[in-house]
Structure 1
C-alpha cells in the first residue's frame, strides 16, 4: 500500500510526472499532474491506516515542488511508514542521508514499566523536578515467575528451584510476584488504583480497582501479560460535561533531540457521567476513545467523545461560574503545564540510550496522554480560593492512532502532519505557531549516526 508518483518520458529539460497513489482498495485520490523538480526530496509512504495515509498524501501534494513520491523504498531519502515496514539497517547506515519517521529504540517511552522505572530514577536525583507532581505513584509488577513452571525464584528470603516451583499453586506464585503491590494496597485501605499492562492497545485490560483480590484476579485472567503497572488513581479529576476526560497531546521529536508540542490538544471523554465511588461501570473511568466506541452503548460515533481543549472554556464558565478571562486562564495554564512536563520528560529520558536512542536521521510523532486535577488550596489577594490546574502524565504512545480523532477535528491532524513535513522533512525553517519547542539538546550532533543493527 505504498504511495508513489511515476515519471513520464523526458523532453529536453522539462520534467513532468503523473502519479498514482498505490492503495489496495480505495483507488487514486487525485488525477493532477504536478511539475517534477529534479531537486525535490524523494519520499516513500507506506501507511496501513487509510485516515492517516490520506492526510499525509494531501500534505505532500501541497508541497509537490519540493517533495516527490516514489514507489520503491530504496529510491527515497525520506521514509514515512509504519514502524515494522521501515528499513532501519539502511537508515542507520546512510550517514544521515536517509531519514525515517520513527526512532528504532524508544521502548523507554512506549512501555509503561520502563517509563516508570527511568522517571523514578530521574526524580530520585532531582527532588525539585516538576515531574514529582505530574507522575502518579507507580509500582511495576512482573509475573513471569508465576506462569513459567520451570523458572526459579526466591520467596521469604529463600531461593526455590524449578522442581519446588512446580509444587506451588498458581495462587501462591502470583502472591509472591504481587507481594509489593499487596503490601502497598494494604497500607492505604479504601484507596483507588488503576492497573494497566505495560504494553496495551486501545485501553484493553485497563481496570480501576480498590482491593488486592481484584488485582490478582485480573492478572490471573491475562496470563499472556507478564508486565503491569499499578498506579494511584486520581479520584478528583477535572470534568467536562460531568464526564471524566484525558488530554491527548501530540509531540514531534526531531533528531537528537528537539521536541515540539502541538498546541492543538484534544480532549477525550468518557461516554457516561463520572462517579468516583462507582467502579462497576469501567467506561466512566477508562477514557480511551477506541474502548469507549467499541464497548460503550451511549457513544455511537467518535465525535461524541472527541473535543478540543479549547472547548473546556465554556464548560468551566458554566460549571465553575468563572468569567471568560478566568476560564481562559485555566486552559492556558493547562497547556503550559503540559509543555513544561513534556520538556522535563524528554530531558529525563534523553540520556537513557538503551531504552530511548534518538538519532539525527530520524523523527517521530508521539501521543502523550494527560489527566488534569484542580488544586483548591491556593488563594488570591482577597483570600478567595483559586483553582490551580495540575497536569498528570498518564502514558506515551509511539505510533498514535490518528483515526480516533474522527472527521470533525481532522484539521488538528492535518495541521500536525503539515508542520511535521515542514520542520522534520523539509527543514525550511517555517515553524507553525502551533508548534511549541519544549526541549532541545545542546549537542544534537552527538547522536550515533553510525548506529547499526546487530545480528542475533
Structure 2
C-alpha cells in the first residue's frame, strides 16, 4: 500500500510539530508493508486552508531522522535526496555515509500543505498513491470555523480534488492549552488513529471524499474509547483580529517604512472572543464529541459538505463477508517477511491485518501460542484457523515424547522408532538432595547407571535453547550436575558466567538419555559433531509434511571422544564439542558457530543424503502416527489448525538416524541471513500446502519438491 503523508505544522519540531515523529514511527513499526512518502511544508502553515502561493515556484529540501529516535533530531537539510528509491522521480545523491537506509526521509517544500500534496501525487514517485494522510494536526479541527481554515483538511481536500485519491485528515486535540503531553498518550493516539484509518480505507463509504478524524489527547483516551460519526459544528466567528490602539494612533509620530506615524495594526487574536453556538443542536457534532473526550470521525465531500447517513457509533468491526489473515507476531520477527510475501502470493484476496478482527467470515490467525484464541480454536472450526494445536505435549515435552515412542514400539516392534530412538528414562526431581530417592523410584534407571558402562545425557523435559543439558557417566556424576545447579555461580566481582544453569524445582521433570558415542563426523567441517534441524509440519487431523531442505548445526570445536577422568560433567567448556545447540554456543568463549544447509555438505554422496532423508521421513511418519494412536490425550490435532515443528536428529557413523526432540515454535532465525532463502521457501510451501486449503479446499496439494507428505491419516468412521 502506497501512502503519502503531509501536515500543516511543518517538520520535526518540539514546539510547532511534536506529534508527527511518533505518528510516523508507529506507522513504520506496525505497518511495514506500507510504502510511506512524507512531504510536508518546511515551516508551520496552519490556518491556510486549501491554498497555493500563486505565481511562486517551490523548492524542496530533505531531512533524515532515525526510526527509533526519542527526540526530534535529524540530519540535514540537504538539497538532494540521500537515499536510493527505485520509484523516485527525483535525482539522488547517496554518497552521505551518515544517512542509513533505515532512516526516515522527510521531504520539505517551501509551500502550503495543499501544494505538498499536489507535488507529492504528481512529481515525487513514478507509481500512484493509494491514500493521503494529512496530519496529525496539533490541535482540533472541529466546527465550520476551524475546519474551513484548516491546512490539514485543506491538504486532504487537495488530494481529492486534484488527485482523485482517498484522503484522511487527522488531528490530535489537546485540552487546557497543554499540547505537550506524555509520550505514551501520543503513542496511544497514534495507535487509535491508525486503527481508524485502516478501517476507513478498507470500508470506504462511496459517498465520502475525505474523512476528518479528531483524537482527544486526554487521560481519558483508552484503547476502547468510543468512536462516533459526527457532523460539523456549524458555528460562526466573531472578530478574530483585535483592532488598533486608538491612543497609540493619536499620539504616534514615528516614521516607519517611509510612512509618517504608526501603521494601523490589527493583531491576530482568534481565541479571545467566543464564536456563536451551533445552529443544529440536534446533531451529534464534532465539537460535542471531542469535548466529551471521545473520538470524532466526520465524513466530508470535497465542498465541505457533510455526508448524510453516517450516524451513531463507528465500530471497527470488519465486514462479516471478508476473509482475513491476522499476523500478531512481532513485525521485526525473522519469519514475518517471508510469511507476508507468501500470503500475498497465494491469497491476494485475503486482507492481512496486525490485530485480530471481529466478526469476519473467516480468520486465519498466525501468532505466538499465548496470542491465539484457544476458545475459538476449539469451538469455531469453520471460521477460525490458527498455526498451532492446543494439546501437543505428547510430542514437544521430552518425557512425554519418550513415553509416546515407547508405547508405540511396544505395539509395533518393527517400527523404525525401535532403533531410531535412543534409550530414555524419565526422572522427576524437586531438589538436588533428593536424587537418591528419585533413583529409588526409578530402579530401572538406577540399574543402568550402576553398570557404569556407557555415557548419558540429562535434559530438562520442558526447557529449550540448551538450558541445563549435561553429559555424565555415573550416579556420582549426575549428583554433581544437580548440585552444581544449586551453587552460586559468580566470580569475586559478582559477574554471572554460567547462564546455562537451571533451577531444578521450577522444572522438576528431566530425561536421562543414552549418549550417542559414535556421531557422524565430516572432515570438511572439521570433524565436529552436528545435528540436523528438520522442519516438519502437521495439518488438520492429520497430514504430516517434511521439509527436505534441512539445516546441519555443528558444535564449535572438533569432537573428542568421552573418556573417564578427562571430562568434567559440570564444566560447561568441556561440553563444547558434544553439544550442537546454537543458543548454547553463543555463550561460550569461542564464537565459532557453524550452520549450513545439509544438502551443501560435500562429504556425503547424494545417495547417502537420500538414505538419511528417507529414514527421517519414516521416523516422522511413525512418531506422529504413534502420538495420535497411543497418546491421544496429549496430542490432539485439530481440523482447523496446522503447526510447524523444529525436529532434531542425530546421525551416527553408520548413517543411522536418531530422533532427539521435537520443538514447537522453532527459532527460525538460527538459519542466519545467508540461508534466509531456505526459510522463504519453507513459508512459501507452508502457505501453499497448509494454509491455502483452509480458505479453498479445492486448492489442496499433496506434495511438491522439498515439501513431502509422509502421513495422511484418516480415522475409522465407525
Normalised TM-score (structure 1): 0.76
CA distance in 1, matches of 2:555, 2:429: 30
Indicate the residue corresponding to 1:159 in structure 2: none
For residues 302-317 of structure 1, the aligned pairs below 5 Å read 304-312=593-601, 314-316=602-604
In structure 2, list runs of 5 or more residues that go unmatched: 4-22, 36-128, 131-200, 204-318, 486-502, 569-573, 694-698
Indicate the residue corresponding to 2:413 in structure 1: 127
CA distance in 2, matches of 1:135, 1:5: 53
Shift of 1:28: 4.0
Give yes or no for the alignment of 1:42 onto 2:321: no
Q: Closer, same or farther in 2 for the Cα pair 1:177/1:126, shift >3 Å? A: same
Shift of 1:213: 1.2
User: Is the partner of 2:365 in helix, strand or coil?
Assistant: strand
Indicate the residue corresponding to 1:165 in structure 2: none
For residues 214-233 of structure 1, the aligned pairs below 5 Å read 214-220=477-483, 221=485, 222-224=503-505, 225-233=507-515
User: Is the partner of 2:454 in helix, strand or coil?
Assistant: coil
For residues 14-413 of structure 1, the aligned pairs below 5 Å read 26=29, 28-31=31-34, 41-48=323-330, 50-63=333-346, 65-73=348-356, 74=358, 75=360, 77-144=363-430, 170=434, 173-174=437-438, 176-177=440-441, 179-187=443-451, 189-220=452-483, 221=485, 222-224=503-505, 225-240=507-522, 241=525, 242-277=527-562, 279-280=567-568, 281-299=574-592, 304-312=593-601, 314-316=602-604, 327-351=605-629, 352-375=631-654, 389-413=655-679
User: Is the partner of 2:383 in helix, strand or coil?
Assistant: coil
Indicate the residue corresponding to 1:320 in structure 2: none
Shift of 1:122: 1.1
Q: Closer, same or farther in 2 for the Cα pair 1:172/1:294, shift >3 Å? A: closer
More helix by share: 1
Shift of 1:190: 3.7
CA distance in 2, matches of 1:444, 1:409: 42
CA distance in 2, matches of 1:79, 1:5: 25
Shift of 1:68: 1.2
Alpha-carbon displacement from aligned partner over 1:52-86 (angstroms, at most 9, x marks no partner): 22222232233452331134413451010001110
User: Is the partner of 2:467 in helix, strand or coil?
Assistant: coil
Q: Closer, same or farther in 2 for the Cα pair 1:421/1:279, shift >3 Å? A: farther
User: Is the partner of 1:315 in helix, strand or coil?
Assistant: coil
Shift of 1:26: 4.0
CA distance in 2, matches of 1:253, 1:275: 37
Q: Closer, same or farther in 2 for the Cα pair 1:311/1:371, shift >3 Å? A: same
Question: Which of the residues 655, 669, 691 maps onto 1:425?
Answer: 691
CA distance in 2, matches of 1:310, 1:95: 39
Q: Which has the higher contact order (CA 8 A, sep 6+)?
A: 1
Alpha-carbon displacement from aligned partner over 1:235-258 (angstroms, at most 9, x marks no partner): 111023200000001011000000
CA distance in 1, matches of 2:472, 2:537: 34
CA distance in 2, matches of 1:444, 1:253: 19
Normalised TM-score (structure 2): 0.49
CA distance in 2, matches of 1:107, 1:348: 13
Q: Closer, same or farther in 2 for the Cα pair 1:123/1:433, shift >3 Å? A: same
Contact 2:346 2:687 in 1 (8 A): no
CA distance in 2, matches of 1:362, 1:5: 33
Alpha-carbon displacement from aligned partner over 1:19-68 (angstroms, at most 9, x marks no partner): x9997974643335799899874110111461122222232233452331
Alpha-carbon displacement from aligned partner over 1:395-427 (angstroms, at most 9, x marks no partner): 000110111111111111111111111112112
Shift of 1:97: 2.1
CA distance in 2, matches of 1:25, 1:228: 44
In structure 1, list runs of 5 or more residues that go unmatched: 7-19, 148-168, 317-326, 376-388, 447-456
User: Is the partner of 1:234 in helix, strand or coil?
Assistant: coil
Shift of 1:353: 1.9
CA distance in 2, matches of 1:365, 1:296: 33
Contact 1:5 1:70 in 2 (8 A): no
